[in-house]
């Protein structure tokens, strides 16, 4: 058994992220100390339920913990009002009380939705994240951002609600499709790029082994990513400053996700990877870092078999000005100055308040021309 522990220090809302193998099989023992009565409710999605709910249920019942479970449909479409209502009303029907604990077993969709439901149920019940995608293990399960999508956009309704515990069992990644694994890897690379050049070096060497299923490589990558996120969240829980660095690549990503209709054409982590490559390109053009840095970022993403260029996104994309408008930045701003996360080199990201709009437009136009 291997187990790494990372603390998220947030005063009385502090919790631990436990990362290792066999954690689902030990979930009963891990969770029991949190329980005031021997009963939990689990919310998951149907795909994860098939692969991992039996093992979780067995582990809980082995400790004498009664379990009931709800499996929602898989996919981003689940993260909305309809399933928020369904989940919350089911928790009420299950007579979940304020002293109880709700378990969220799944990827970022389930973690965000169930975390939000726990935040509003009886004005807040405790919940435990059992993240089952790489993205959820390194990013969405840690930090307490919960919420849903609405017709107006993604993650526009939600709450900060920290989990009481996160159990990241890297063994569950074995059943994750390769495309979802690589999408999560986009967020892993982001941590190296934003604040840890040594970690990026390590990823260049060990990324292919991680992709192929090497448990030691996965354990290290998840642990280092969680350490970085936990540190940033502990210092800036509600994104007044440093937490914004976690949005490296995300301004470009959001525009591309909107342009592709949040569809299968582009997964979130794929957009983050392309966005990081564009953010480094923009940084080099402004003269903040050398041209070698964006080349190195792109070479690593390419070596991992990931999407790197706008040409890797199937179907049509709008023009540069339209993409800037989709960033939530008004087209008129093109002549003005935009806020981006840029970098002075690999591992040296910062919030740039004063980015020339015409430079952003040029980077996008060139990237589109390369299609």
Ligand X SMILES: NC(=O)c1ccc[n+]([C@@H]2O[C@H](COP(=O)([O-])OP(=O)(O)OC[C@H]3O[C@@H](n4cnc5c(N)ncnc54)[C@H](O)[C@@H]3O)[C@@H](O)[C@H]2O)c1
C-alpha 252/C-alpha 63 separation (Å) is 47
Question: Which residue, 48 or 282, is less far from ligand X as judged by CB?
Answer: 48
Work out whether 139 is an interface residue with ligand X (CB under 6 A). yes
Q: Which stretch binds ligand X (CB under 6 A): 102-110, 204-212, 217-225, 340-348?
A: 102-110
And the tokens for 1? 């058994």
Q: Which stretch binds ligand X (CB under 6 A): 21-29, 134-142, 197-205, 311-319?
A: 134-142
R_g of the chain, CA atoms, integer Å? 20
Work out whether 117 is an interface residue with ligand X (CB under 6 A). no
Given candidates 133, 162, 223, 251, which one binds ligand X under the rule CB under 6 A?
A: 133
Work out whether 365 is an interface residue with ligand X (CB under 6 A). no
The DSSP code sequence of 225-281 is HHHHHHHHHHH-TT-SSGGGGGGTTHHHHHHHHHHTTTSTTS-HHHHHHHHHHHHHH
Question: Which residue, 39 or 229, is less far from ligand X as judged by CB?
Answer: 229
The DSSP code sequence of 317-350 is ---HHHHHHHTTS-GGGGGSEEEEEEESSTT-EE
Work out whether 167 is an interface residue with ligand X (CB under 6 A). no
Query: 8: closest CA among 114, 124, 165?
Result: 165
- For tokens 């402004």, what's the residue? 286
Annotated catalytic residue 190: no
Work out whether 45 is an interface residue with ligand X (CB under 6 A). yes
Question: Which residue, 235 or 371, is less far from ligand X as judged by CB?
Answer: 235
Work out whether 74 is an interface residue with ligand X (CB under 6 A). yes
Q: Which member of 13, 206, 243, 265 is catalytic?
A: 243
Residues 6+ positions from 349 with CB-CB distance below 8 Å: 193, 194, 195, 245, 248, 341, 342, 343
Work out whether 150 is an interface residue with ligand X (CB under 6 A). no
Q: Are 52 and 173 in contact (CB under 8 A)?
A: no
Given candidates 57, 83, 129, 140, which one binds ligand X under the rule CB under 6 A?
A: 140
Report, as residue numbers or ranges, the catalytic residues: 123, 145, 187, 229, 239, 243, 247, 250, 254, 268
Q: What are the residues binding ligand X (CB under 6 A)?
A: 45, 47-48, 51, 74-76, 79, 106-110, 112, 132-133, 135-136, 139-140, 143, 145, 154-155, 172, 175-176, 180, 183, 268
């Amino acid at each position: 058994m291997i187990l790494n522990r990372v603390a998220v220090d947030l005063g009385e809302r502090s919790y631990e992220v436990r990362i290792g193998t066999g954690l689902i099989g030990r979930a009963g023992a891990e969770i029991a100390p949190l329980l005031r009565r021997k009963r939990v409710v689990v919310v998951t999605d149907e795909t994860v339920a098939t692969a991992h709910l039996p093992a979780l249920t067995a582990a809980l019942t082995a400790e004498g913990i009664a379990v009931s479970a709800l499996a929602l449909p898989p996919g981003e479409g689940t993260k909305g009002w309809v399933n928020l209502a369904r989940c919350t009303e089911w928790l009420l029907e299950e007579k979940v009380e304020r002293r109880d604990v709700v378990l969220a077993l799944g990827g970022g969709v389930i973690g965000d939705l169930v975390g939000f439901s726990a935040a509003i149920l009886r004005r807040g019940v405790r919940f435990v994240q059992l993240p089952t995608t790489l993205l959820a293990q390194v990013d969405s399960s840690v930090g307490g951002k919960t919420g849903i999508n609405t017709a107006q956009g993604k993650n526009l309704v939600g709450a900060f609600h920290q989990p009481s515990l996160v159990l990241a069992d890297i063994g569950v990644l074995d059943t994750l499709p390769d495309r979802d694994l690589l999408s999560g890897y986009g967020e892993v690379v982001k941590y190296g790029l934003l604040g840890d050049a040594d970690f990026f070096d390590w990823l260049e060497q060990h990324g292919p082994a991680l992709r192929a299923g090497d448990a030691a490589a996965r354990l290290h990558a998840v642990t280092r990513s969680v350490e970085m996120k936990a540190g940033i969240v502990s210092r800036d829980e509600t994104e007044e400053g440093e937490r914004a660095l976690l949005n490296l690549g995300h301004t470009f990503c959001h525009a591309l996700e909107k342009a592709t209709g949040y569809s299968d054409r582009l997964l979130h982590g794929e957009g983050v990877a392309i966005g990081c490559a564009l953010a480094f390109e923009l940084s080099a053009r402004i003269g903040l870092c050398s041209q070698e840095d964006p080349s190195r970022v792109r070479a690593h993403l390419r070596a991992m078999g990931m999407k790197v260029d706008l040409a890797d996104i199937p179907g049509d994309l709008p023009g540069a000005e339209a993409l800037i408008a989709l960033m939530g930045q008004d087209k008129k701003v093109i002549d003005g100055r935009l806020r981006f996360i840029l970098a002075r080199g690999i591992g040296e990201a910062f919030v740039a308040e004063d980015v020339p709009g015409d430079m952003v437009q040029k980077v996008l136009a060139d990237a589109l021309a390369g299609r």
